[in-house]
């Protein structure tokens, strides 16, 4: 049982309140034996109090007092479970329209999204919305879980019709990496166990898919990007001349002797050592946290980025991005905001709002401001140059958050075009 060689998979679930999303998570946890007896007994009591005949597994994910009182999920909750093959982190996001920001938040770190539809209802407006958001945030793997198959007599025809419609819609967004699974979260068919009701289906169960989906290439593995987080200068006898540039490799890999460029200055040098607490490395990969020492003495500080040969990032003060507005206070074009991008924070203004996307119809509308949950194409000007890639190429160097300096709140999330 020493699961020290298991991989970590982060996934999210998206669906409306009635699609059985919480039941699906509860079922995954229950059937993989990740629910503890005291948790089960607590929710059994609550189910009984509410007059339910069976234990409501959805109660497992309702964390806050307000939610338990109202019976709804109001924020992103993280759940953990493990099988002998993988450790999983589930970001549980609510399905209500007003909570687009929560899905974007949880999606930003996910390898995979499970989009739920009710087999009786098929592809709905919210299914399109969730799929659009998944494509916007660039979740690498999409699973369409056609739930409540027990309510449509486990019909293969119904399942196939939903899958065909969904794939056609997803293709318009440029999405092709989609797996469709018929299941019943309530009964337990095709989640952990195959059950006896869906014998016509030859694909994997949801759990098998979660355990085996290939995630090694979810990160950009070719372009070395290393934002400097912290400069380590011990100033002790033993390490008198040590200057280690500490950070996390956002993408690609690096080896001792590699030539690198330091942006935005553009100076070049070579990697002398890759230092870790557990000893020096010859080579390091994303997403490792390491310290790098260099052959030459160059003035480098937090916010600079080490870049490898090959594809080069852009170094610019102006760029365009898709922006999701997260704050109840609307975006004010006349104001300055702060952008935090990798390890660099700069002042910015929004010079243009090109259009706002209706997440239900994907239609583009004119925009003069942005309200909470709005998604828009914008042009941005920053005070000092940023070193960035397109979000499509590199999530680490293509993403940023917007901070309102008056309140210090995080008010926006951006993906560079």
Partner 1 sequence: MSNHNFTHLDALESESIHIMREVAAECKNPALLFSGGKDSIVMLRLAEKAFRPAKFPFPLVHIDTEHNFPEVIATRDKLAADLGERLIVRSLEDSIKKGTVVLKNETQSRNVFQSVTLLETIAEFGFDACMGGARRDEEKARAKERIFSFRDDFGQWDPKNQRPELWDIYNTRVHAGENIRVFPISNWTEMDIWQYIEREKLEIPSIYYAHEREVIQRAGGIMPVSHLVQPQAGEIVVTKTVRFRTVGDITCTCPVESPARNAAEIIIETATTRITERGATRMDDQTSDASMELRKKEGYF
Per-residue tokens: 400: 């940023």
Note whether 386 binds partner 1 by CB under 8 A.
Answer: no
Residues 102, 94: Cα–Cα separation, whole Å: 7
Single residue of 202, 238, 297, 366 touching partner 1 by CB under 8 A: 238
Applying CB under 8 A, the span of 20-28, 34-42, 182-190, 351-359 interacting with partner 1 comes to: 34-42
Nearer to partner 1, 160 or 409 (CB): 409
Tell me which long-range contacts 165-174 makes (C-beta under 8 A, separation of at least 24). Answer: 165/122, 165/123, 166/117, 166/123, 166/127, 166/131, 169/123, 169/128, 169/131, 170/131, 170/135, 170/142, 172/362, 173/131, 173/132, 173/135, 174/135
Note whether 58 binds partner 1 by CB under 8 A.
Answer: no
Task: Count the residues in the chain.
Answer: 417
Applying CB under 8 A, the span of 113-121, 143-151, 192-200, 229-237 interacting with partner 1 comes to: 229-237
Task: List the beta strands (DSSP E) in 36-164.
Answer: 77-82, 86-92, 112-118, 141-147
Classify residue 81 by its DSSP letter. Answer: E
3-class SS at 2?
Answer: coil
Applying CB under 8 A, the span of 121-129, 152-160, 186-194, 409-417 interacting with partner 1 comes to: 409-417
Classify residue 247 by its DSSP letter. Answer: E
72-101 residues in contact with partner 1 (CB under 8 A) are 74-80, 82, 86-87, 89, 101
Nearer to partner 1, 197 or 342 (CB): 342
CB 328 within 8 A of CB 98: no
Nearer to partner 1, 158 or 291 (CB): 291
Compute and round to an integer the Cα radius of gyration of the chain.
Answer: 24
Tell me which long-range contacts 39-44 makes (C-beta under 8 A, separation of at least 24). Answer: none
Residues 331, 350: Cα–Cα separation, whole Å: 9
The overall longest dimension of the chain from CA atoms, in Å, is 76
Note whether 8 binds partner 1 by CB under 8 A.
Answer: yes
Note whether 277 binds partner 1 by CB under 8 A.
Answer: yes
Nearer to partner 1, 86 or 148 (CB): 86
Provide the mask over 296-335, with x wherever binding to partner 1 is found by CB under 8 A and - wherever it is not.
------x-----------------------x---------
Q: How far is the CB of 146 from partner 1 (least distance, A)?
A: 28
Note whether 285 binds partner 1 by CB under 8 A.
Answer: yes
Note whether 186 binds partner 1 by CB under 8 A.
Answer: no
Single residue of 96, 121, 167, 248 touching partner 1 by CB under 8 A: 248
Note whether 373 binds partner 1 by CB under 8 A.
Answer: no
Note whether 403 binds partner 1 by CB under 8 A.
Answer: yes
Q: How far is the CB of 179 from partner 1 (least distance, A)?
A: 22
Residues 306, 249: Cα–Cα separation, whole Å: 9
Per-residue tokens: 32: 């993989």
Q: What are the residue ranges of helices labelled H in 290-393? A: none
Nearer to partner 1, 203 or 234 (CB): 234
Provide the mask over 134-173, with x wherever binding to partner 1 is found by CB under 8 A and - wherever it is not.
----------------------------------------
């Amino acid at each position: 049982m020493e699961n020290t060689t298991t991989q970590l998979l982060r996934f999210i679930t998206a669906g409306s309140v009635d699609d059985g999303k919480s039941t699906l998570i509860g079922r995954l946890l229950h059937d993989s034996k990740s629910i503890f007896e005291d948790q089960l007994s607590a929710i059994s009591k609550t189910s009984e109090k509410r007059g339910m005949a069976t234990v409501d597994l959805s109660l497992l994910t309702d964390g806050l007092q307000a939610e338990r009182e109202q019976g709804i999920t109001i924020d992103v909750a993280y759940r953990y479970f493990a099988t002998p093959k993988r450790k999983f982190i589930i970001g549980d996001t609510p399905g209500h329209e007003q909570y687009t920001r929560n899905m974007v938040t949880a999606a930003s770190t996910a390898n995979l999204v499970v989009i739920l539809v009710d087999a009786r209802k098929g592809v709905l407006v919210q299914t399109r919305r969730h799929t659009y958001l998944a494509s916007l945030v660039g979740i690498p793997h999409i699973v369409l879980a056609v739930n409540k198959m027990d309510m449509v007599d486990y019909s293969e025809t119904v399942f196939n019709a939903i899958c065909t419609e969904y794939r056609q819609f997803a293709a318009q967004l440029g999405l092709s990496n989609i797996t469709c699974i018929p299941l019943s979260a309530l009964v337990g068919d095709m989640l952990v166990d195959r059950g006896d009701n869906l014998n016509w289906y030859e694909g994997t169960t949801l759990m098998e898919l979660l355990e085996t989906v290939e995630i090694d290439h979810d990160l950009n593995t070719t372009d070395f990007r290393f934002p400097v987080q912290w400069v380590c200068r011990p100033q002790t006898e033993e390490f008198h001349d040590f200057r280690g540039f500490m950070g996390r490799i956002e993408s690609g890999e690096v080896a001792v002797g590699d030539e690198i460029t330091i942006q935005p200055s553009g100076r070049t040098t070579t990697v002398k050592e890759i230092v870790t607490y557990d000893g020096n490395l010859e080579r390091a990969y994303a997403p490792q946290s390491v310290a790098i020492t260099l052959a030459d003495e160059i003035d480098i500080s937090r916010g600079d980025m080490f870049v490898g040969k090959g594809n080069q990032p852009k170094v610019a003060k102006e760029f365009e991005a898709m922006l999701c507005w997260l704050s109840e206070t609307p975006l004010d074009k006349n104001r300055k905001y702060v952008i935090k991008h990798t390890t660099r924070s700069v002042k910015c203004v929004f010079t243009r709002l090109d259009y706002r996307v209706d997440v239900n119809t994907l239609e583009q509308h004119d925009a003069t401001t942005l309200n909470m949950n709005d998604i828009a194409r914008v042009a941005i000007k920053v005070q000092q140059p940023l070193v960035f890639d397109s979000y499509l190429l590199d999530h680490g160097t293509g993403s940023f958050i917007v901070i309102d300096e008056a309140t210090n709140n995080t008010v926006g999330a951006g993906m560079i075009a």
